[in-house]
Amino acid sequence: MMPQHAELVSDKPNAEAAAPRGTNQSGMRDYNERLVLSLVRQHSALAKTDIARMTGLSAQTVSVIMRALEQDGLLLRGEPLRGKIGQPSIPMSLAADGAFFLGLKIGRRSADLVMIDFLGTVRSTHRRVYRYPTPDAVVEFVAHSLPAMLGLLTPAQRRRVGGLGVAMPFQLWNWVQALGAPQAEMDSWRDRDIQAELALVTGLPVYVQNDATSACGAELVFGTGERPKDFLYFYFGTFIGGGLVLNGQLFLGRTGNAAGVGPLPVQGPDGQMRRLFDSASMSVLEAMMTAAGESPDHLWESPNHWQVSEPVLQAWVDLAAEGLAGAILSAATLLELEAVLIDGWMPPKVRAMVTLRTQEALARLDLSGVSMPQVREGTVGAQARSLGAAAIPLSQRYLIDQNAAARGA
């Protein structure tokens, strides 16, 4: 929670309607500070006159907020910009060292721990590859990696570390057969409180969220370019997952697993119905490579240097695109979406190929009566899950209307 500095009152009736509004309730002063920080994050830099116009807060009130946030080390003052009339405006931007956050991605084949600054820039990253995840391995990985990571910060900066977000598949014990893992090892996830154990190891607040939902959250917070207000998001990991943004907010659903697209029924190449993750997943590519006598082990080491034969890669892309097209059509019949974004643990050129083939596959379907969304690439990339994990404590402390954290410790 940010310090409570001043009474913040919304007192301008003609502000822009598209922006969130400031509030005049004394108990919601923190909300107005979050509102200012959220707007500055969206626009890179803003002067107080811009924020006053967007929020309906008076220029004096905005000055109080921005001065307090500057004193807290969260905003930086830019060079004055002189206009044709009046006083020069001073743009304010986020201070990179204003806060730091940790993100842990627990994958089915690997774990990643990242540290980001207030801008979302990755300051440090550690990675561990395994055949299957266990609670002991994950806790040991964090305990081993964290001292070196925090050692990059000064003592004053370490006091600004705001928490650890964890992005992980829910109910890992249900993936025993797909992962080739011993049942007893995976069953340990049922009884272990990984959130409490990581809080004990790190001494930080810990938040846990579905991994694909976190990746979608990374796109929402850190994505570049045009940001649609309503979009469906697909992320290719060992299995495909998804996330949903409605009216500019991450939609979690009752259990935190909204837009868990993997089990969606889609038509396979044989005309029979199958689940989406049986067509569009890294595990499918892994199986196809193995069947072709190619080793898939390197796939989990780096998303940028795949060694996949062209026939196998093209066959997998086509299969994935057909599955995605069917899933997108189903979603579009239920929701009026502006866009569908596709991202994952893959080289950018492969992501572009999957996106293009999905667009082509959609064009071959009967789209009568359906308003189709724009299908395009995600902008965050392979690290979206770990970055999305780090975005959870950032959102909890410094952004508005964030329902992104499923559980907080």
Q: What is the pLDDT along the chain (409 residues), one digit of tens a residue?
A: 343 333 222 333 333 434 555 554 444 568 899 999 999 998 999 999 999 999 999 889 999 999 999 999 999 999 887 765 667 789 999 999 999 999 999 998 899 999 999 999 999 999 998 888 999 999 999 999 999 999 999 999 999 999 999 999 988 887 767 667 788 888 889 999 999 999 999 999 999 999 999 999 999 999 988 889 999 999 999 899 999 999 999 999 998 889 999 999 999 999 999 999 999 999 999 999 999 999 998 998 889 989 999 999 999 999 999 999 999 999 999 999 999 999 999 999 999 999 999 999 999 999 999 999 999 999 999 999 999 999 999 999 999 854 433 334 4
CB–CB of 189/298 below 8 Å? no
pLDDT for 145-166, tens place per residue?
A: 999 999 999 999 999 999 999 9
Give the start-to-end residue ranges of the domains of the chain: 26-94, 98-209+386-408, 224-379
pLDDT for 197-241, tens place per residue?
A: 999 999 999 999 999 999 999 999 999 888 899 999 999 998 999
d(CA 373, CA 378): 14
Rg (CA), the chain: 23
* DSSP SS3 for 104: strand
Cα-to-chain-centroid distance, residue 66: 27
> What's the pLDDT score for residue 10?
31
> What's the pLDDT score for residue 64?
92
How large is the angle between the packed helices 135-150 and 183-191, nearest 10 degrees? 70
pLDDT for 234-291, tens place per residue?
A: 999 989 999 999 999 999 999 888 999 999 999 999 999 999 999 999 999 999 999 9
- One fold for 98-209+386-408 and 224-379: yes
| DSSP notation for 107-126 | -SSEEEEEEEETT--EEEEE
**Other beta carbons within 10 Å of 386:** 31
Q: Which amino acid is at 38?
A: S
Q: Which amino acid is at 366?
A: D
CB–CB of 194/397 below 8 Å? no
d(CA 296, CA 308): 8
CB–CB of 235/251 below 8 Å? no
Ranges of H-type helices in 159-270: 176-179, 183-191, 194-202, 211-222
The hierarchical CATH code for the domain 224-379 is 3.30.420.40
Question: b/e for 250-286, b at 16 or more Cβ within 10 A?
Answer: bbbeeebbbbbbbebebebeeeeebbbbbbbbbbbbb
> For 195, how many CA atoms within 13 A lie in the half-sphere containing its CB?
17
> What's the pLDDT score for residue 195?
96
Terminal CA-CA length for the chain: 14
The hierarchical CATH code for the domain 98-209+386-408 is 3.30.420.40
Element (H, E) at 245: strand 240-246
* DSSP SS3 for 45: strand
34, two tokens: 């979050």
Q: Quick one: which of 47, 44, 51 has its CA closest to 20? A: 51
Left (φ > 0), alpha (ψ -120 to 50) or beta: where does 380 sit? alpha
107, two tokens: 């994958």
Left (φ > 0), alpha (ψ -120 to 50) or beta: where does 171 sit? left
- Class of the CATH domain delimited by 26-94: mainly alpha
Q: How many residues does the chain have?
A: 409
